[in-house]
Homo-oligomer: A and B are copies of this chain.
Amino acid sequence: MDGRPAIVQSTSPTNDDTFLNLLCDGFGDSVLLGEAIPASCFSDWTGHAACRPLALVSPATTEEVAKLLRLCNDHHRPVVPQGGMTGLAGAAVPSADSIAVSLCRLTGVESVDRDAATMTVRAGTTLQTIQEAATQAGFRYPVDFGARGTCQIGGNIATNAGGHGVIRHGMTRDQVLGLEVVLADGRTIDLMNGMLKNNTGYDLKHCFIGSEGTLGIVTRAVLRLAPPQGESHTLLCGLPSYPAAVALLHRLRSAGLALEAFEVMWQDFYTMSCGWRDGQLPLPTSYPLYLLCEAEGDASHLEAALEAALETGEVEDAVLASSTTQARGLWAIREATGEFPVKLAPINFDISLPIPAIGDFVETAGKMLQQRWPGVRIVNFGHIGDSNLHLTVDGRSLTEDTPATRHAIESAVYQWVGKYRGSISAEHGIGLLKRDFLHHSVRPEALNVMHTLKQALDPHGILNPGKVLN
């Protein structure tokens, strides 16, 4: 990365005590210090690098966020923005010298505009609150994932969170029409657009979405709402090969069905998950791949497409859920991932690959891992319509499950991802955990431009230093 602008977080000209006095003077009860800081803000759901920050401040308004950043910027103090702490890349983990800024008091749905199908929210509002408010207004906020009750929309935006339904509705980025952001120096920029078409200069909101709190702190947003979900059908198929899964993806789309989920489980995954469940298997464990699909649209179109796929051999066997209970049973097989932390010692990968290459990647990466770590157990499933693969290595199958081995496995997989021109992070972000692997997915010139942006918007490097970029 020769010649790229250095991001050096300048040393604070003020000692800790003086600065903390200024902080307490300015923010009173909103400041917590030392033992009073709750452990819940020391790390995220990864538990990675847990650390007590120098102080925790919880501003209740945009103006307070701005005032806080001005102070920290003037004194060159590192600031770590925090939402629900459910992140999976360490982006909200504080350092010992940092001021953690919790958005937990900047909450609430400000308004729902039924005519425009939009919602204006404050950054600290939980995803679940937003989903419920959307439903109540006759709409749907279509981004959804397990942390919904705890994660905050500001964090969702800062990390461009994915989740269920991306295949139809896109990531969090695609739901954001407008933003309010506070820059490192405390300037507030009002990008609270609520319109679908707006071509007035650079679309600055995209600089902040997915930047993991390194370029600004999101304080408010305007979100798009989708119509409520229509009747949907749940289907489990046994497939002969990966190319058959891709062919089926296009067949269903061309039949005019709106796919809400297209989850491909490799045989290793299906067999393991079914082994964890009692009762009769919906399909035998003999197929190389399994597809769990949820589609909205005309049942007759789905049936016709399925019949054609059975005829061409794209699908070898299929179960179409005839009740909600049956659909839930099929989903339970895929949702075995929720049991991974208990039943495995999982080393999880959230990666993207070009859709045509995913089948080949699973095979060759598996062989590569087997060669270096003989006997290693790997399970694979993917939202392949989104180009997203979740490969999981079970640490219990390693001779020695040490941090060094885990790091070596990560290095090997990410390097392999780079060979396929894939992405080392599909939806979780980079944070601390993947920062040192970023070069496998981002070319030096692009990394260089990221550094240029960082330098331009946060010249003292106070915002979430060490996250995403080093």
Which residues of A come within 8 Å of B, CB atoms? Answer: 113-117, 138, 159-160, 162, 166-167, 170-171, 173-174, 183, 187-191, 193-204, 206-207, 209-211, 215, 227-228, 230, 243, 246, 250, 253-254, 256, 296, 298, 352-356, 383, 385-388, 422-430, 434, 438, 441-443, 445-450, 452-453, 455-457, 468-469
Residue of B198, B201, B387 touching A195 (CB-CB under 8 A) = B387
18 sampled A-B residue pairs with Cβ under 8 A: A115-B356, A138-B250, A189-B443, A190-B446, A193-B423, A195-B422, A196-B352, A197-B352, A197-B386, A199-B429, A199-B430, A201-B468, A202-B210, A202-B468, A203-B206, A227-B256, A298-B298, A449-B457
* B114 and A426 contacting across the interface, CB-CB below 8 Å: no
The distance from the CB of A6 to the nearest CB of chain B, in whole angstroms, is 14
- The residue on B at minimum CB distance from A429 is B199
Residue from B189, B201, B385 in contact with A430 in the complex, judged by beta carbons closer than 8 Å: B201
Q: Pick the contact of A197 from B166, B188, B468 — CB < 8 Å?
A: B166
Measured between beta carbons, the chain B residues less than 8 angstroms from A197 are 162, 166, 171, 352, 383, 386-388, 423, 426-427
Separation in Å of the A334 CB from the closest CB of chain B? 18
User: Cα distance A189–B304 when bound, in Å?
Assistant: 45
Contact B354 A450 (CB under 8 A): no
Give the number of times this chain occurs in the complex, counting copies.
2
Least distance between A203 CB and chain B CB atoms (Å)? 6
Q: B450–A204 contact, CB under 8 A?
A: yes
Instruction: Name which residue of chain B comes closest to A171, CB basis.
Output: B197
With A138-B254, A227-B254 as contacts: A423 and B355 at CB distance below 8 Å: no
6 A-B pairs besides A138-B254, A189-B445, A200-B434 with CB distance below 8 A are A117-B250, A198-B423, A198-B425, A199-B429, A200-B430, A202-B210
Contacts of A202 on B, CB cut-off 8 Å?
207, 210-211, 215, 450, 453, 468
Which residues from chain B contact A424 at a C-beta distance below 8 Å?
200
Q: Which residues of B contact A187 (CB under 8 A)?
A: 445, 448
Point out the residue from B199, B200, B296, B426 that lies within 8 Å of A198, measured CB to CB: B426
Question: Which of A256, A353, A450, A468 is most buried by chain B, counting CB atoms within 10 A of its CB?
Answer: A256
Asked if A113 and B356 sit within 8 Å, CB to CB, the answer is yes
Closest B residue to A89 by CB, please name it.
B199
CA A296 – CA B199 in complex, angstroms?
27
Within the assembled complex, what's the spacing in Å between the Cα atoms of A424 and B195?
12
Question: A199 to B160, Cβ gap below 8 A?
Answer: yes
Cα distance A452–B459 in the bound complex, in angstroms: 12
Check if A115 sits within 8 Å of B445, measured CB to CB.
Answer: no
- Chain B residues, CB < 8 A from A425: 198-200
**Residue in B closest to A230 when the chains form the complex, CB atoms:** B256
Docked-complex contact A227 and B253, CB < 8 angstroms = yes
* B195 & A353 in contact (Cβ 8 Å cutoff): yes
Are A166 and B199 touching (Cβ within 8 A)?
Answer: no
Chain B residues whose C-beta falls within 8 Å of the C-beta of A441 in the assembled complex: 198, 200
Chain B residues closer than 8 Å to A445, beta-carbon distance:
187-190
Report the nearest B residue to A227, measured CB to CB.
Answer: B253
Q: Given the interface contacts A246-B115, A457-B449, does A210 sit within 8 Å of B199 by beta carbon?
A: yes
* CB of A225 to closest CB in B, whole Å: 10
Which chain B positions have C-beta within 8 A of A385?
A: 196
The answer for the CA separation of A193 and B426 in the assembled complex, in Å, is 12
Docked-complex contact A355 and B428, CB < 8 angstroms: no
**A196 CB contact (under 8 Å) in B254, B387, B429, B446:** B387
Interchain residue pairs A-B with the least CB separation, the first 8:
A206-B206, A115-B356, A456-B456, A195-B387, A197-B426, A116-B355, A198-B423, A195-B352
